């Protein structure tokens, strides 16, 4: 009995050394063998280092298939554009704004879809930004119906307007200047002018405050 157990122990050690990647050698797998047969098998395993022997003694692999890991990786598209927000500046119901338009706006990896709507969406982390770094630029808002207006608030990003005018119109063709700035310093410009009725209002740039273009977080009509 002692000799038989010793043989079993030797077989276990030989098997473990021979098939290093095997984690488990089941006792039943060995006890079912006759001593002579087990010695023969163990010798063959040790000599050949055949990995297939692992399967014969019930070992399992713990390595995950590389393909399964790759399949779970989420692909995130680069340069995802901003989502479109519903226009509606603070202090004015969105339904009162019919549309907006502007000179060419920036739409690249530095500012995706930075169109006029982004200056009317009530979000201070979205902006209208001009495409060209030139003094001449404009942004126009059309109201659904004529409105009485006497105040405009401009919330500038770093690229502010130093010189500009505010014009109003009832037909989008004939414009009246209600305010002109020649030495703006950015930040927040709260502009007051005599109360007037208009269906269109337009901001027109005449001088940039920086070497860049113009960039407005929001235009508000309180």
Nearest to 149, CA basis, from 129, 166, 136, 137: 166
Residues in region 64-123 near Ca ion by CB under 5 A: 118, 121, 123
**Residue 14: Cβ within 10 Å count:** 17
CA 106-109-114 angle, 5° bins: 30
Q: List the interface residues with Ca ion, window 131-160 (CB under 5 A).
A: none
Residue nearest to Ca ion (CB): 126
Minimum Å gap between C-beta 154 and Ca ion is 12
Q: What are phi and psi of 69, to 5 degrees?
A: -65, -45
When the beta carbons of 102 and 126 are compared against Ca ion, the nearer one is 126
Is residue 126 a contact point for Ca ion (CB under 5 A)?
yes
Residue given tokens 């208009």 in the structure block = 198
Q: How far is the CB of 219 from Ca ion (least distance, A)?
A: 9
Stretch in the footprint of Ca ion (CB under 5 A) among 97-105, 175-183, 184-192, 213-221? 213-221
DSSP 110-162: TBTT--GGGGSSS-TT--EEBSS-SS-EEEEEEEEEEEEEEEEEEEE-SS-EE
Choice between 155 and 162, CB closer to Ca ion: 155
Stretch that binds Ca ion, among 67-75, 173-181, 200-208, 210-218 (CB under 5 A): 210-218
As measured in angstroms, the least distance from the Cβ of 93 to Ca ion is 17
Residues that bind Ca ion (CB under 5 A): 118, 121, 123, 126, 218
């Amino acid at each position: 009995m002692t000799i038989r157990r010793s043989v079993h122990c030797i077989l276990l050690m030989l098997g473990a050394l021979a098939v290093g990647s095997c984690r488990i050698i089941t006792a039943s797998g060995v006890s079912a063998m006759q001593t002579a047969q087990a010695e023969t098998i163990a010798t063959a395993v040790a000599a050949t280092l055949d990995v297939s022997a692992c399967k014969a003694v019930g070992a399992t692999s713990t390595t995950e298939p590389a393909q399964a890991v790759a399949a779970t990786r989420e692909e995130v598209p680069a340069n995802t554009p901003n989502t479109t927000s519903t226009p509606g500046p603070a202090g004015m119901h969105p339904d009162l704004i019919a549309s907006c338009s502007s000179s060419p706006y920036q739409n690249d990896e530095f500012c995706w879809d930075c169109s006029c709507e982004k200056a009317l969406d009530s979000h201070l982390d979205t902006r209208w930004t001009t495409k060209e770094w030139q003094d001449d630029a404009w942004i126009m808002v059309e109201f659904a119906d004529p409105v009485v207006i006497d105040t405009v608030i401009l919330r500038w990003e770093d690229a502010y307007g130093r010189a500009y005018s505010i014009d109003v119109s009832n037909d989008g063709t004939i414009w009246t200047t209600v305010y002109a700035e020649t030495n703006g310093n950015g930040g927040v410009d709260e502009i007051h002018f005599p109360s007037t009725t208009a269906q269109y209002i337009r901001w027109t740039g005449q001088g940039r405050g920086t070497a860049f273009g113009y960039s407005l977080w929001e235009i508000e009509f309180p």
